[in-house]
Structure 1
């Protein structure tokens, strides 16, 4: 029995993106609900936080769709753009804390940051190690 490696890689990437979406939505919803307890710039608003995740989610999903269509460079660009929503989460620590953050808040920040990093590593693996963008299209 042969394994379709292209389909297997798509499944792995989908799992990474799904975990990323979950962590981002959990963090951003918590951030919007408890905005005054999260350190950040004064211009952050709950509506802005939720709007960001609503706008960026389709960017990530579209990136995955382009990946499945073997349009790798466009997929890499959109998924890297989407990953900013996660890898930027630890930036909370660059701002002075107004109130002590809970363990939940710290956990959501680091989970989201880790998931964004995992997505970036997946993109680098695909583009630099596997060089999937060079592969020929074979369909069953």
Structure 2
């Protein structure tokens, strides 16, 4: 059992990094909601609620992957990473608000973490198929 976790330590780290980056971004987004570029229909409560939907998806994907069902777990992990990339939609909203360096940093920290998760899971399967 311990060996299984050792084998997945990089994946566990990347998923935890995604959770951490999303906490930082989502908390900042909720606290400074009026300063972020957001569509008119979005509210701090929806942003907050979305985090409580996406995080269990990532956690579930990690648990399934570690329990030696990486094929099934990868789709949940891809979904989780794609949900993390939604933070980039801040750049698609027209607004008069000027984003701070902190906002850009938190958005890109979350996005880069999500891209790393996608890349790691993809490379894991590419390497598995060669053996």
With structure 1 as the length reference, what TM-score do the two structures score?
0.84
* Shift >4 Å, 4+ stretches: none
Offset, 1:73: 2.2
Distance 1:25 1:15 in 2: 15
1:53/1:85 contact within 8 Å kept:
no
Q: Are 1:81 and 2:79 matched, yes or no?
A: yes
Q: Which residue of 1 aligns with 2:97?
A: 99
1:66/1:74 contact within 8 Å kept:
yes
Q: Which residue of 2 aligns with 1:113?
A: 111
Distance 1:120 1:75 in 2: 12
Q: Give the gaps of 5 or more residues in structure 2.
A: none
Match of 2:57 among 46, 56, 59: 59
Structure 2 SS opposite 1:42: coil
Structure showing the higher helix proportion among its residues? 2
Offset, 1:97: 2.8
What RMSD over aligned residues (CA atoms) do the two structures have, in Å? 1.8
Offset, 1:58: 1.1
Distance 2:108 2:99 in 1: 13
Offset, 1:94: 1.0
Q: Give the gaps of 5 or more residues in structure 1.
A: 135-140
Structure 2 SS opposite 1:25: helix
Offset, 1:127: 1.6
> How many residue pairs are counted as aligned between the two chains?
129
Pair 131,24 (structure 1): closer, same or farther in 2 beyond 3 Å: farther
Distance 1:108 1:121 in 2: 20
Match of 1:128 among 123, 126, 129: 126
1:14-93 paired onto structure 2 within 5 Å = 14-93=12-91
Q: Which structure's CA Rg is the greater one? A: 1
Offset, 1:101: 1.2
